[in-house]
């Protein structure tokens, strides 16, 4: 099931602690030990598909290291990228709990360390450890509220410029960069993928980034985007 990607990474898989803070935080030692017995540690190279939209749920994937792109297909066979999953996130949770097909496709963006738990084992784990039920409900509720906030923010935007600005502001908040004078964003998406997120064309996104750079609101440094003028970007997000 899992493909090795270098001895050093494999060794780190065997020795490092699993980053499951959100799901297993504050649980008893016995519960944590029980989880350790059902998880399967694996390493995936860049471009590996963890699960595919429409596939029957095999279980949950706990992302320990690396980044995973989450996307879905639209009727014209184009792929819409939803977001990038970060270490500590549990992927495939809602499908595993509900017994419904995965709603998204998960693909690794770089070498990733992932803990996998089979669906039957996970459901048994939840049933035999009631304290985990609240954690699962908390995770599902958080994902639902986040999705609603994102749809609401982009849906109420009146222009592509406003939508792009809102997206950049949201990314800075998620990455813990919002409080900095000049937030830095690691752009993992192409202009085409960003265009899909905000419902416009790649050409428009390229033009908007060019305009932001010309106005010295943002500055590109390789794959990093530096927000030089937070106030101006926030103003576009609110009033453009």
Of residues 19 and 234, more confidently modeled = 234
Q: Given this model, what pLDDT does residue 149 score?
A: 67
For the ranges 50-64, 120-134, 173-187, the maximum mean pLDDT occurs at 50-64
Q: Which residues make beta-bridge pairs with 99?
A: none
Q: How confident is the model at residue 164 (pLDDT cuts 50, 70, 90)?
A: very high
Q: How confident is the model at residue 6 (pLDDT cuts 50, 70, 90)?
A: very low
Is the confidence at residue 12, as pLDDT, over 60? no
- Our CA angle for 152, 154, 156, nearest 5°, is 65
Q: Given this model, what pLDDT does residue 142 score?
A: 77
Arithmetic mean of pLDDT, 27-38: 89
Q: How confident is the model at residue 2 (pLDDT cuts 50, 70, 90)?
A: very low
Is the confidence at residue 148, as pLDDT, over 80? no
Least trusted range by pLDDT, from 2-16, 36-50, 95-109, 125-139: 2-16
> What tens digit of pLDDT does each residue of 87-113 get?
888 999 999 999 999 999 999 988 999
Q: What percent of the chain has a predicted confidence (pLDDT) above 90?
A: 47
pTM: 0.70
Is the confidence at residue 27, as pLDDT, over 90? no
Is the confidence at residue 232, as pLDDT, over 90? yes
What domains, with CATH codes, occur in the chain? 7-154 (2.60.120.10), 157-239 (1.10.10.10)
Arithmetic mean of pLDDT, 17-22: 47
Helices 160-174/130-155 angle, 10° precision: 150
Q: Which two tokens stand for residue 51?
A: 């699960």
Q: Which two tokens stand for residue 61?
A: 């994937």
Q: Which two tokens stand for residue 176?
A: 């813990």
Q: Given this model, what pLDDT does residue 99 score?
A: 95
Name every residue whose Cβ is closer than 8 Å to that of residue 189 and which is 6 or more positions away in sequence.
81, 84, 197
Q: Which helix (H) or strand (E) holds 62?
A: strand 59-65
Arithmetic mean of pLDDT, 61-69: 91
């Amino acid at each position: 099931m899992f493909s090795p990607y270098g001895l050093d990474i494999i060794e780190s898989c065997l020795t490092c602690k699993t980053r499951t803070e959100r799901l297993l935080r504050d649980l008893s030692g016995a519960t944590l030990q029980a989880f350790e017995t059902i998880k399967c540690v694996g390493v995936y190279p860049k471009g590996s598909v963890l699960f595919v939209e429409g596939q029957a749920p095999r279980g949950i994937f706990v992302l320990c290291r690396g980044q995973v792109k989450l996307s879905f297909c639209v009727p014209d066979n184009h792929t819409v990228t939803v977001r990038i999953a970060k270490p500590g996130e549990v992927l495939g949770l809602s499908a595993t709990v509900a017994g419904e097909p995965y709603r998204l496709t998960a693909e690794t963006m770089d070498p990733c360390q992932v803990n996998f738990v089979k669906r039957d084992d996970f459901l048994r784990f939840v049933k035999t450890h009631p304290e985990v039920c609240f954690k699962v409900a908390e995770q599902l509720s958080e994902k639902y509220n986040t999705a609603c906030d994102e749809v609401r923010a982009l849906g109420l935007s009146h222009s592509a410029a406003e939508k792009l600005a809102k997206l950049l502001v949201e990314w800075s908040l998620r990455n813990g960069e919002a409080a900095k004078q000049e937030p830095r964003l690691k752009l993992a998406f192409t202009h085409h993928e960003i265009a899909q997120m905000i419902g416009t064309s790649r050409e428009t996104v390229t033009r908007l980034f060019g305009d932001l750079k010309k106005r010295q609101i943002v500055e590109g440094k390789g794959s990093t985007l530096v927000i030089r003028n937070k106030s101006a970007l926030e103003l576009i997000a609110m009033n453009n």
